[in-house]
Structure 1
Amino acid sequence: MTPPVTAVLPLLITCLVEHFGRDPEAVTADTRLEDLEMDSLAVLELLTVLEDEHGIPLPEDTGSLHDGSTLADVAALIERARAASAEAPA
């Protein structure tokens, strides 16, 4: 089951198109990381770009992502990290 589309998903797709040269027509919420030929290092690079350009905190649990994970899965992981960051005491 695909997680719901989040506010992060459009940023994720834009980043893949602009920084990784992916075809915008081929990148959707259901696109799997393996379809984009993204290994764990490429995913970390993607998350780092999102953090640098949009202030989105890096999720600590990237180990739960795998080749079969979709962009919606990545977006949901980022949303959980954002929520945890917002709840953490300053």
Structure 2
Amino acid sequence: MIKLQHLPTHKEHLNDIHRFKINTSATIKAEGQAHVLSRLEGEKIEIITKDSISFFHYAESFVIPAAAEEYIIRNLTKEPVMMVKAFVKN
């Protein structure tokens, strides 16, 4: 299950922000854009792309390139994880 919340930015800002909470896993489409993700809550996640699998812990940030097309965020703990995703506005 995923709970998504849009955090609007000023209309002149280049970026947009989503905050989401994940209980188990979520598939995110890149939609032709790179995503910058930061962990806010939770201990450990796994990121699965078509080319790799990576693990991230609390308070780490990372970039998913647009070439990934989509990625899976899998929560590896029993407690929900909270993430912030920044990306360029359309």
Do both share a fold (TM > 0.5)?
A: no
| Larger strand percent | 2
TM-score relative to the length of structure 1: 0.32
Higher helix proportion: 1
TM normalised by structure 2 equals 0.32
